[in-house]
Chain A
């Protein structure tokens, strides 16, 4: 009986994703066909997604740039900040840490009003930076939190030993501390990339020029290449295309991500 329950849960988790792939691979004239295994397989839906009139490749490029730059900046800023918080003692440190972590709980939608006003005033509407800056503010708290716990676990003697051996504090950080913190940084980078790649509300409200849209917004407004029909097949193909990068990313580095997450977060 428990096995039956678990089997049902597994089915619940896997069927929708399988169906997405199966619908993508069906030729358009069979798209409402409910046979469990597609009768015939064709790449037509995938080709339709990349039809130049849809502009989907531009959206993909936008998403890659925005998510990539966000990840890089988050790592640089987050690592130095986390190191500062882990190693420095100053009055009000707890409050600073609490304030930063509380930002994780700010729903993006509650910030969208001032952001939209601000970006309109400084002419940032329809730009990459108008997405990257808010994403930084969502990604940094988690990164800082993950990495602070990481740095705290490292004994202070590591740097002291390095400095006794003639390293400057900067060198001690780069050559001794950073290599040990790599798993944590790696996890933070993957999580940040996923967050930025999937973000929707800000990308939806700050950008209104189709050329600057990210894939999340492009997908939500996806009506497919052909008009006057339900473009199931093309929609699902678009879904598959945007999911593949993340699946690959996690497939390759699953072990490291979980190690970094639990080592930093739980202890």
Chain B
């Protein structure tokens, strides 16, 4: 440790001489266009959304467009369909993230061991993540879930199972597709964590007679913490936004059983043509995602701290 800090110390900035204002700006200017462009590109559409959300804009009423304050937010929050969409989104995201993280950890543990053909297995296991979501939705809808020709019913028929998956278990059907797609993503991140573990510590634990489970829960899991956190955070941010699978497999149905927030907004904007309410719902989703992501990260961190 001391050797390391000694070697990095000289790399620290040797207190640079304070620059004048003019010099500072001369340095900054060449770098600013990119920065401004990124800010404009990323923030302006959202500001537009906020602007529309404050207007009573409905494409079916061409004269509309008046300022209505927060009325759209009130309407959306009071809408039972919106609340239903919130519940569906939470269930969908939470189940998919938990399932794919657990499965991902299991697969990563498998791939961290040495066995013949490991490279091939690893590459094959990544493929679900690479299948285009629209194509994956089609694949599950037709080849897996089809009540007559689907593989799932065919495989379960010896047990007397014959189910129309999409209409009888719509939410479960979507969760299965999403879990299938996101497991490889979690596996990759966890695997990167496993491989950065020092083999000496694991060897020491073995010598000290620690059982496999103890080694896993006391050494491996705490080490994996930041990797799992990253996976959960990125995973939930993207899974909240799921649209393709729902659009293609269930169209939000039957009824509203699988309508999540993105699909709700889509319906508001392109079926009901209520741009104001769709924009308000969009703003609510953005704010909620940011709050939940921050909160989720805290909870996960605390969980790990208590364990270790």
Which A residues have a C-beta under 8 Å from some C-beta of B?
5-6, 9-10, 12-17, 19-20, 23, 32, 34, 77-78, 80-81, 83-85, 87-88, 90, 96, 99-100, 102-118, 133-134, 136-137, 140-141, 144, 155-157, 169-170, 194, 197-198, 200-201, 204-205, 215-217, 219-220, 222, 230, 232, 235-236, 238-239, 242-243, 246-247, 250-251, 254, 258, 261-262, 265-266
The CA of A136 and the CA of B106, in the complex, are separated in Å by 35
The answer to whether A220 touches B248 (Cβ under 8 A) is: yes
- Determine the chain B residues whose CB is within 8 A of the CB of A205 once the complex forms: 270
How does the 8 Å CB contact mask read for B28-46 relative to A, with 1 for contact and 0 for none?
1011111101110111011
- In angstroms, Cα B305 to Cα A197, docked, is 39
B127 at the interface (CB under 8 A from A): yes
Determine the chain A residues whose CB is within 8 A of the CB of B174 once the complex forms. none
Smallest Cβ distance from B187 to chain A, in angstroms? 9
B183 to A, closest residue via Cβ: A13
Cβ of B286: which chain A residues have Cβ within 8 Å of it? 105-107, 110
Q: Which residues of B contact A204 (CB under 8 A)?
A: 247
The reply to whether B106 and A5 contact each other, CB–CB distance below 8 Å, is yes
Whether A258 and B143, one on each chain, are in contact in the complex, defined by CB atoms closer than 8 angstroms, is: no
Q: Do A155 and B11 touch (CB < 8 A)?
A: yes
Supply 8 A–B pairs (Cβ within 8 Å), ascending by A.
A81-B34, A103-B46, A104-B237, A106-B46, A106-B286, A112-B269, A220-B248, A251-B123
A113-B282 in contact given A13-B180, A141-B42 (Cβ < 8 Å): yes
Contacts of A102 in B (CB 8 A): 290
Query: How far apart are A124's CB and chain B's nearest CB, in angstroms?
Result: 13
Residues of B at under 8 Å CB distance from A? 11, 13, 27-28, 30-35, 37-39, 41-43, 45-46, 48-49, 51-52, 103, 106-107, 109-110, 121, 123-128, 130-140, 142-144, 146, 149, 151, 154, 180, 183-184, 188-189, 191-193, 196, 226-227, 230, 237, 240-241, 243-244, 247-248, 261-262, 265-266, 269-270, 275, 278-279, 281-283, 285-286, 289-290, 293
Residue of B nearest to A88 (CB): B28
A115: chain B residues within 8 A (beta carbon): 45, 48
Q: Say yes or no: B132 contacts A107, CB within 8 Å.
A: no
Q: Are B243 and A200 in contact (CB under 8 A)?
A: yes
- CA of A108 to CA of B282 in the docked complex: distance in angstroms? 9
Considering the chains assembled together, what is the distance between the CA atoms of A220 and B132 in angstroms?
A: 11
Q: Which of A15, A114, A254, A258 contacts B49 (CB 8 A)?
A: A114
Q: Return the chain B residue nearest A103 by Cβ.
A: B42
Query: Which one of A16, A23, A78, A247 has the highest number of Cβ atoms from chain B below 10 Å of its Cβ?
Result: A16
Query: Would you call A17 and B192 a contact (CB within 8 A)?
Result: no
Specify which chain A residues have a CB less than 8 angstroms from the CB of B133 in the assembled complex.
198, 200, 216
Of B46, B138, B154, which one neighbours A219 at CB under 8 angstroms?
B138
Which residues from A are CB-within-8-Å of B243?
107-109, 200-201
Which residues on the B side are within 8 Å of A96 (C-beta)?
35, 39
Task: A73 to B142: give the CA distance in the assembly, Å.
Answer: 37
Alpha-carbon gap, A266 to B41, bound state (A) = 26
A239-B278 in contact (CB<8A): no
- The answer to whether B31 and A107 touch across the interface, beta carbons within 8 angstroms, is no
How many Å lie between the Cα of A200 and that of B130 in the bound state?
Answer: 15
Q: Is the CB of B31 within 8 A of A83?
A: yes
Are B13 and A261 closer than 8 Å at their CB atoms?
A: no
Q: CA of A201 to CA of B283 in the docked complex: distance in angstroms?
A: 17
Minimum C-beta distance from B136 to chain A (A)? 8
User: Is A12 in contact with B11, judged by CB distance below 8 angstroms?
Assistant: no
- Complex contacts, A19 vs chain B, CB 8 Å: 139, 143-144, 151
B31 touches A16 (CB 8 A): no
- Taken together as a complex, chains A and B put the C-alpha atoms of A59 and B196 apart, in Å, by 42
- Closest chain A CB from B145 CB (angstroms): 11
B207 to chain A, nearest CB (A): 23
Partner of A215, one of B103, B130, B132, B293: B132
Contact between A239 and B237, CB atoms less than 8 A apart = no
Within the assembled complex, what's the spacing in Å between the Cα atoms of A14 and B244? 21
How far, in angstroms, from A15 to B131 measured CA to CA in the complex?
A: 13
Tell me the minimal C-beta distance from A10 to chain B in angstroms: 7
